[in-house]
Amino acid sequence: MTGVAGTTPTLPGGLGLAASSDFERQLRSLDSANQQLNAQLAQAQQQIKFYKDRSDLMQRQLADVSGQLQSRLASNPLPYSPSPNAAKPPDISTAKEFGSTSARRSGARFTANVSRGLEADPLRDLGYEVEVASDGLRLRVPSDQLFQPNSAQLTPSGTSLLDRIAEILKTDYSDRRMAIEGYTDNAPLHGGLYATSHQLTSAQTDTILEQWTRRNQLPPSQFVTLAHGSNYPISDNQSPAGRASNRRIEILIRNEASP
Protein backbone atom coordinates (compact mmCIF):
# COMPACT_ATOMS: atom_id res chain seq x y z
CA MET A 1 0.00 0.00 0.00
CA THR A 2 1.24 3.48 -0.87
CA GLY A 3 1.05 6.09 1.87
CA VAL A 4 -0.11 9.64 1.34
CA ALA A 5 2.37 12.41 2.09
CA GLY A 6 2.00 13.80 5.62
CA THR A 7 0.24 10.68 6.93
CA THR A 8 1.54 7.60 8.89
CA PRO A 9 1.63 4.43 6.82
CA THR A 10 -0.83 1.84 7.93
CA LEU A 11 -0.98 -1.93 7.76
CA PRO A 12 -4.04 -3.94 6.82
CA GLY A 13 -6.54 -3.67 9.59
CA GLY A 14 -5.66 -0.05 10.32
CA LEU A 15 -2.55 -0.72 12.56
CA GLY A 16 0.19 1.88 12.06
CA LEU A 17 3.83 0.85 11.53
CA ALA A 18 4.97 2.78 14.66
CA ALA A 19 2.30 1.16 16.78
CA SER A 20 3.28 -2.25 15.44
CA SER A 21 6.94 -1.66 16.33
CA ASP A 22 6.00 -0.63 19.87
CA PHE A 23 3.82 -3.68 20.21
CA GLU A 24 6.65 -5.98 19.13
CA ARG A 25 9.02 -4.37 21.62
CA GLN A 26 6.47 -4.91 24.38
CA LEU A 27 6.09 -8.54 23.34
CA ARG A 28 9.86 -9.06 23.43
CA SER A 29 10.04 -7.38 26.85
CA LEU A 30 7.24 -9.55 28.21
CA ASP A 31 8.88 -12.65 26.76
CA SER A 32 12.19 -11.75 28.41
CA ALA A 33 10.46 -11.11 31.74
CA ASN A 34 8.63 -14.43 31.43
CA GLN A 35 11.92 -16.28 30.84
CA GLN A 36 13.46 -14.64 33.90
CA LEU A 37 10.47 -15.58 36.02
CA ASN A 38 10.64 -19.17 34.78
CA ALA A 39 14.35 -19.33 35.66
CA GLN A 40 13.70 -17.92 39.13
CA LEU A 41 10.88 -20.41 39.62
CA ALA A 42 13.11 -23.32 38.63
CA GLN A 43 15.83 -22.11 41.01
CA ALA A 44 13.31 -21.77 43.83
CA GLN A 45 12.01 -25.28 43.15
CA GLN A 46 15.56 -26.64 43.30
CA GLN A 47 16.16 -24.89 46.62
CA ILE A 48 12.90 -26.27 48.02
CA LYS A 49 13.91 -29.77 46.96
CA PHE A 50 17.38 -29.32 48.50
CA TYR A 51 16.00 -28.23 51.87
CA LYS A 52 13.37 -30.98 51.81
CA ASP A 53 16.03 -33.62 51.12
CA ARG A 54 18.23 -32.13 53.85
CA SER A 55 15.34 -32.14 56.31
CA ASP A 56 14.54 -35.77 55.48
CA LEU A 57 18.20 -36.74 56.00
CA MET A 58 18.40 -34.96 59.35
CA GLN A 59 15.19 -36.64 60.50
CA ARG A 60 16.59 -40.05 59.54
CA GLN A 61 19.86 -39.31 61.35
CA LEU A 62 17.98 -38.11 64.42
CA ALA A 63 15.90 -41.27 64.41
CA ASP A 64 19.04 -43.41 64.11
CA VAL A 65 20.77 -41.60 66.97
CA SER A 66 17.66 -41.80 69.13
CA GLY A 67 17.38 -45.52 68.45
CA GLN A 68 21.04 -46.11 69.26
CA LEU A 69 20.76 -44.10 72.48
CA GLN A 70 17.67 -45.99 73.60
CA SER A 71 19.37 -49.28 72.78
CA ARG A 72 22.48 -48.34 74.79
CA LEU A 73 20.41 -47.15 77.74
CA ALA A 74 18.38 -50.36 77.66
CA SER A 75 21.49 -52.54 77.62
CA ASN A 76 23.60 -50.41 79.95
CA PRO A 77 21.50 -48.11 82.17
CA LEU A 78 23.19 -45.31 84.07
CA PRO A 79 24.19 -46.91 87.35
CA TYR A 80 24.91 -43.84 89.41
CA SER A 81 22.76 -41.07 90.82
CA PRO A 82 24.91 -38.91 93.08
CA SER A 83 23.57 -37.21 96.17
CA PRO A 84 24.11 -33.42 96.47
CA ASN A 85 27.20 -34.01 98.60
CA ALA A 86 28.67 -36.83 96.54
CA ALA A 87 31.04 -35.65 93.87
CA LYS A 88 32.93 -38.89 93.30
CA PRO A 89 32.04 -40.63 90.01
CA PRO A 90 30.89 -44.23 89.88
CA ASP A 91 33.36 -47.08 89.97
CA ILE A 92 34.81 -47.72 86.52
CA SER A 93 33.58 -51.31 86.52
CA THR A 94 30.00 -49.96 86.18
CA ALA A 95 30.47 -46.47 84.73
CA LYS A 96 28.83 -45.75 81.39
CA GLU A 97 31.25 -44.98 78.59
CA PHE A 98 30.36 -41.99 76.39
CA GLY A 99 31.78 -41.64 72.90
CA SER A 100 35.11 -43.39 73.48
CA THR A 101 36.02 -46.77 72.02
CA SER A 102 39.37 -47.01 73.79
CA ALA A 103 38.20 -49.72 76.14
CA ARG A 104 37.10 -51.90 73.25
CA ARG A 105 40.28 -51.17 71.27
CA SER A 106 42.52 -52.13 74.15
CA GLY A 107 40.44 -55.07 75.32
CA ALA A 108 40.67 -53.80 78.88
CA ARG A 109 38.31 -55.45 81.37
CA PHE A 110 38.07 -54.75 85.06
CA THR A 111 37.95 -57.51 87.66
CA ALA A 112 38.02 -57.63 91.44
CA ASN A 113 40.62 -55.49 93.21
CA VAL A 114 43.79 -57.11 94.40
CA SER A 115 44.64 -56.61 98.03
CA ARG A 116 47.66 -54.37 97.68
CA GLY A 117 47.84 -50.70 98.48
CA LEU A 118 49.48 -48.15 96.22
CA GLU A 119 52.04 -45.54 97.15
CA ALA A 120 50.71 -42.03 96.46
CA ASP A 121 53.90 -40.03 96.94
CA PRO A 122 55.14 -40.27 93.31
CA LEU A 123 51.90 -38.66 92.14
CA ARG A 124 51.90 -36.04 94.89
CA ASP A 125 55.33 -34.91 93.71
CA LEU A 126 53.58 -33.50 90.64
CA GLY A 127 51.92 -30.88 92.82
CA TYR A 128 48.32 -31.77 91.96
CA GLU A 129 45.51 -33.16 94.08
CA VAL A 130 45.73 -36.90 94.73
CA GLU A 131 42.83 -38.76 96.31
CA VAL A 132 43.45 -42.10 98.02
CA ALA A 133 40.29 -44.15 97.46
CA SER A 134 39.29 -47.71 98.22
CA ASP A 135 39.77 -48.73 94.59
CA GLY A 136 43.06 -46.93 93.96
CA LEU A 137 44.64 -43.51 93.53
CA ARG A 138 42.98 -40.63 91.70
CA LEU A 139 45.15 -37.85 90.25
CA ARG A 140 43.19 -34.69 89.39
CA VAL A 141 44.63 -32.25 86.81
CA PRO A 142 42.84 -29.09 85.56
CA SER A 143 41.97 -29.37 81.87
CA ASP A 144 42.88 -25.71 81.44
CA GLN A 145 46.51 -26.65 82.14
CA LEU A 146 46.48 -29.26 79.39
CA PHE A 147 44.27 -28.04 76.53
CA GLN A 148 43.39 -24.95 74.58
CA PRO A 149 39.97 -23.58 75.72
CA ASN A 150 37.02 -25.77 74.68
CA SER A 151 39.24 -28.05 72.61
CA ALA A 152 41.26 -31.26 72.68
CA GLN A 153 44.36 -29.44 71.38
CA LEU A 154 47.21 -29.82 73.85
CA THR A 155 49.24 -26.78 74.78
CA PRO A 156 53.06 -27.11 74.80
CA SER A 157 53.03 -27.04 78.60
CA GLY A 158 50.22 -29.60 78.60
CA THR A 159 52.28 -31.96 76.44
CA SER A 160 55.21 -31.54 78.82
CA LEU A 161 53.01 -32.23 81.86
CA LEU A 162 51.66 -35.41 80.27
CA ASP A 163 55.24 -36.50 79.61
CA ARG A 164 56.02 -36.09 83.34
CA ILE A 165 52.91 -38.04 84.36
CA ALA A 166 53.68 -40.79 81.84
CA GLU A 167 57.18 -41.21 83.27
CA ILE A 168 55.74 -41.68 86.76
CA LEU A 169 53.13 -44.14 85.49
CA LYS A 170 55.82 -46.09 83.69
CA THR A 171 58.21 -46.11 86.66
CA ASP A 172 55.90 -46.59 89.63
CA TYR A 173 52.61 -48.05 88.34
CA SER A 174 53.52 -50.10 85.29
CA ASP A 175 51.61 -53.15 86.59
CA ARG A 176 48.34 -51.30 87.32
CA ARG A 177 45.16 -50.85 85.37
CA MET A 178 44.29 -47.20 84.78
CA ALA A 179 41.45 -45.00 83.59
CA ILE A 180 41.62 -41.60 81.91
CA GLU A 181 38.44 -39.72 82.84
CA GLY A 182 37.31 -36.42 81.35
CA TYR A 183 35.03 -33.86 83.02
CA THR A 184 33.99 -30.30 82.20
CA ASP A 185 31.64 -27.58 83.43
CA ASN A 186 28.05 -26.97 82.35
CA ALA A 187 28.75 -23.85 80.27
CA PRO A 188 27.42 -24.00 76.68
CA LEU A 189 30.00 -24.63 73.97
CA HIS A 190 30.14 -21.88 71.35
CA GLY A 191 31.97 -22.56 68.09
CA GLY A 192 34.77 -25.07 67.95
CA LEU A 193 34.56 -28.69 66.88
CA TYR A 194 32.38 -30.09 69.65
CA ALA A 195 28.65 -29.66 70.12
CA THR A 196 28.31 -31.32 73.53
CA SER A 197 30.35 -31.63 76.71
CA HIS A 198 30.58 -35.40 76.22
CA GLN A 199 32.09 -34.96 72.76
CA LEU A 200 34.64 -32.53 74.19
CA THR A 201 35.70 -34.72 77.12
CA SER A 202 35.77 -37.81 74.92
CA ALA A 203 38.15 -36.07 72.52
CA GLN A 204 40.32 -34.86 75.40
CA THR A 205 40.69 -38.31 76.96
CA ASP A 206 41.45 -39.83 73.57
CA THR A 207 44.14 -37.19 73.00
CA ILE A 208 45.81 -38.14 76.27
CA LEU A 209 45.60 -41.84 75.46
CA GLU A 210 47.08 -41.14 72.02
CA GLN A 211 50.07 -39.33 73.50
CA TRP A 212 50.74 -41.89 76.21
CA THR A 213 50.53 -44.90 73.92
CA ARG A 214 52.36 -43.39 70.94
CA ARG A 215 54.72 -40.72 72.20
CA ASN A 216 55.39 -42.19 75.67
CA GLN A 217 55.07 -45.86 74.66
CA LEU A 218 52.72 -46.93 77.46
CA PRO A 219 50.75 -50.13 76.69
CA PRO A 220 47.19 -49.49 75.41
CA SER A 221 45.91 -52.54 77.29
CA GLN A 222 46.64 -50.71 80.54
CA PHE A 223 44.04 -47.99 79.90
CA VAL A 224 40.38 -47.27 79.45
CA THR A 225 38.94 -43.81 78.70
CA LEU A 226 35.69 -42.43 80.10
CA ALA A 227 34.02 -39.15 79.10
CA HIS A 228 31.67 -37.85 81.78
CA GLY A 229 30.95 -34.44 80.24
CA SER A 230 29.45 -32.06 82.80
CA ASN A 231 28.34 -34.90 85.10
CA TYR A 232 29.76 -35.21 88.63
CA PRO A 233 30.88 -31.63 89.31
CA ILE A 234 33.16 -31.18 92.31
CA SER A 235 32.45 -27.44 92.65
CA ASP A 236 29.58 -25.01 92.11
CA ASN A 237 29.15 -24.17 88.43
CA GLN A 238 27.69 -20.78 89.37
CA SER A 239 31.12 -19.19 89.77
CA PRO A 240 34.08 -18.92 87.36
CA ALA A 241 36.36 -20.58 89.91
CA GLY A 242 33.89 -23.42 90.37
CA ARG A 243 33.57 -24.00 86.64
CA ALA A 244 37.36 -24.00 86.27
CA SER A 245 37.59 -26.62 89.02
CA ASN A 246 35.04 -28.82 87.24
CA ARG A 247 37.05 -28.73 84.00
CA ARG A 248 39.46 -31.51 84.83
CA ILE A 249 41.12 -34.76 83.86
CA GLU A 250 41.30 -37.51 86.45
CA ILE A 251 43.69 -40.44 86.22
CA LEU A 252 42.55 -43.41 88.27
CA ILE A 253 45.29 -45.92 89.08
CA ARG A 254 43.48 -48.98 90.29
CA ASN A 255 44.60 -51.47 92.90
CA GLU A 256 44.06 -54.31 90.47
CA ALA A 257 46.95 -55.49 88.39
CA SER A 258 47.23 -55.01 84.65
CA PRO A 259 47.35 -58.20 82.54
What are the backbone angles phi and psi of residue 207, rounded to the nearest 5°? Answer: -65, -45
Per-residue pLDDT, 108:
40
Interacting residues of 107 by C-beta distance below 8 A, sequence separation 6+: 221
> Is residue 196 pLDDT above 90, yes or no?
yes
| 14 vs 126, more confident | 126
Statement: residue 53 has pLDDT above 70: no
Whole-angstrom distance, CA of residue 117 vs CA of residue 124: 16
pLDDT at 66: 61
Nearest to 96 by CA among 64, 114, 69: 69
Q: Are 222 and 178 in contact (CB under 8 A)?
A: yes
- Number of separate helices (H) and strands (E) present in the chain: 6, 5
Of the chain, the percentage scoring pLDDT greater than 70 comes to 64
Kindly tell me if the per-residue pLDDT of 105 is higher than 70. Answer: no
78: pLDDT strictly greater than 50: no
Give the predicted TM-score (pTM) of the model: 0.58
Q: Give the dihedral sign, CA 203/204/207/209.
A: negative
Q: 23-39 as b/e, with b when 16 or more CB fall inside 10 Å?
A: eeeeeeeeeeeeeeeee
Q: Work out the burial of residue 223: count CB atoms within 10 Å of its CB; fewer than 13 is exposed, 13-18 middle, 19 or more buried.
A: buried
Provide the edge-to-edge strand list for the sheet that holds 223-227: 129-133, 136-142, 248-257, 176-183, 223-227
> Is the four-CA dihedral 27, 30, 36, 37 of positive or negative sign?
negative
* Confidence grade of residue 246 (pLDDT, cut at 50, 70, 90): very high
> For position 172, what pLDDT does the model report?
95
* Assigned CATH for 102-257: 3.30.1330.60
What is the pLDDT averaged over residues 214-219? 96
